[in-house]
């Protein structure tokens, strides 16, 4: 008997315990503590992503030899200087000094020169969701835990934000247009159905929105969506198609709740997915999402390859042994009843479970 095959999973869960790791791209300073409650807008850690340095010629500035500079230096390596603080001097009748041109830390000093690491506005790592800090990651960030709804998608433009969700899609395949967007939605996250024109993205950016959740999108809009100043998450795929009913019900029934959007690209190796998280009140500790499932009869699945890409169905039967497809491919397969009523035989590799 062939070994069971693990199925890729898309989570659409009304209530679950969610843990998300937030980390800086470079080492930095953690500013929260373990056990602390945070909101989506709170800063977990900060770091200088693009440090600037300035090399100062002290001997030239004072008009003395490099060897003589060491005797009039007024600071040491590691000192934090404010703008205007004296680095070296005074010397001569004119009482000449060299001052720090900007706020910064002394990195090196000697041989008549000083190297300053200028203090710039640090990058702030936001929590991205409301919850509790359950673990600190040394010099990098933290893990935040919350309880709520989790809806994962298939595509995102790489940004993270949060806001109050407004529902503009009255049905799962309604077309979102620029005429539906107005100034009253500024700072909100909008749930739409299908996005098919560039004008709507441009209008959303002009308001601006804090995020856009879509059932589907015209593939020609991908470059524009990647440049949008807010996260864009596509739940089901490209081309005009209905949003998965379970995802639409869950999102539309939580209108005017705070939602967090992490539109990170789908990584099939790490399991990272673009996702919407809706923090919700709960008693007890709901289970965490399952990380592994085996294909079985009656599972709800989504097809991820043509010609049925994006369609939802249920597994009727797991075929024994290997099946030969018209392409010549020999592989494990399942009979799936699609939402349009058609029964088709599909390779396991073309399916993902909606859990």
Residues 226 and 271 in one domain: yes
Domain boundary among 118, 142, 158: 118
Q: Dihedrals φ, ψ of 221, to 5°?
A: -90, 0
Token pair, residue 51, equals 């440090």
How high is the pLDDT of residue 251? 96
Residues 108 and 130 in one domain: no
330-339 pLDDT per residue, tens = 999 999 999 8
Place of tokens 């600037």: 52
CATH of the domain at 95: 2.40.50
Give the residue numbers spanning the domain of 300.
295-354
CB 168 within 8 A of CB 180: yes
Residues 176 and 92 in one domain: no
**Between these two residues, 271 and 300, which has the higher pLDDT value?**
300
How high is the pLDDT of residue 215? 94
Q: For residue 258, is it within any domain? A: yes
d(CA 54, CA 107): 10
173-220 pLDDT per residue, tens = 899 999 999 999 999 999 999 999 999 999 999 999 999 999 999 999
d(CA 142, CA 34): 8
Q: Is the pLDDT of residue 297 over 90?
A: yes
Mean pLDDT of the region 256-275: 87
d(CA 231, CA 89): 52
Residues 265 and 303 in one domain: no
Residues 271 and 215 in one domain: yes
Residues 343 and 266 in one domain: no
Residues 79 and 227 in one domain: no
106-120 pLDDT per residue, tens = 999 988 999 998 888
Residues 206 and 148 in one domain: yes
102: left (phi over 0), alpha (psi -120 to 50) or beta: beta
How high is the pLDDT of residue 3? 65
CB 122 within 8 A of CB 27: no
Domain boundary among 73, 92, 118: 118
Number of domains present in the structure of the chain: 3
Token pair, residue 99, equals 């001052």
Instruction: Decide: helix, strand or coil at residue 230.
Output: coil
Q: For residue 286, is it within any domain? A: no
Residues 304 and 182 in one domain: no
Residues 247 and 232 in one domain: yes
18-76 pLDDT per residue, tens = 999 999 989 999 999 999 999 888 999 999 888 889 999 999 999 999 889 989 999 99
Among residues 285, 35, 18, which one has the least CA distance to residue 136?
35
Residues 39 and 184 in one domain: yes
Asked if residue 307 has a cis previous peptide bond (ω within 30° of 0), the answer is yes
């Amino acid at each position: 008997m062939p070994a069971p095959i693990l199925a890729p999973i898309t989570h659409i869960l009304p209530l679950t315990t969610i843990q998300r790791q937030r980390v800086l791209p470079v080492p930095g300073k953690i500013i929260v503590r373990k056990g602390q409650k945070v909101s989506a807008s709170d800063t977990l850690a900060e770091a200088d992503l693009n440090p600037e340095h300035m090399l100062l010629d002290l001997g030239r500035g004072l008009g003395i030899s490099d060897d003589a500079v060491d005797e009039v230096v007024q600071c040491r390596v590691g000192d934090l200087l404010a703008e205007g603080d004296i680095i070296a001097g005074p010397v001569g009748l004119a009482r000449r000094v060299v001052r720090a041109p900007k706020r910064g830390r002394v990195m090196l000093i000697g041989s008549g020169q000083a190297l300053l690491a200028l203090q710039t506005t640090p990058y702030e790592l936001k929590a991205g969701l409301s919850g509790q800090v359950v673990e600190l990651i040394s010099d990098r960030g933290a893990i935040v835990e919350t309880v709520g709804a989790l809806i994962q998608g298939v595509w995102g433009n790489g940004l993270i934000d949060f806001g109050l969700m407004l529902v503009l899609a009255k049905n799962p395949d309604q077309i979102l247009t620029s005429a539906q967007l107005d100034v009253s939605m500024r700072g909100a996250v909008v749930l739409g159905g299908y996005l098919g024109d560039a004008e709507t993205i441009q209008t959303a950016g002009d308001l601006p929105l804090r995020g856009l959740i879509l059932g589907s999108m015209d593939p020609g809009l991908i470059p524009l969506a990647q440049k949008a100043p807010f996260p864009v998450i596509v739940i089901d795929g490209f081309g005009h198609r209905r949003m998965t009913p379970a995802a639409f019900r869950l999102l539309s029934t939580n209108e005017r709740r705070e939602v967090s959007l992490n539109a990170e690209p789908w990584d099939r190796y790490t399991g990272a997915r673009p996702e919407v998280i809706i923090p919700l009140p709960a008693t007890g500790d709901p289970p965490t999402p399952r990380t592994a499932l085996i294909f079985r009869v009656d599972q709800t699945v989504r097809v991820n390859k043509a010609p049925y890409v994006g369609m939802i169905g249920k597994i009727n039967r797991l075929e024994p042994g290997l099946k030969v497809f018209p392409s010549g491919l020999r592989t494990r397969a399942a009979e799936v009843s699609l939402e349009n009523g058609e029964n088709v035989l599909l390779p396991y590799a073309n399916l993902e479970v909606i859990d």
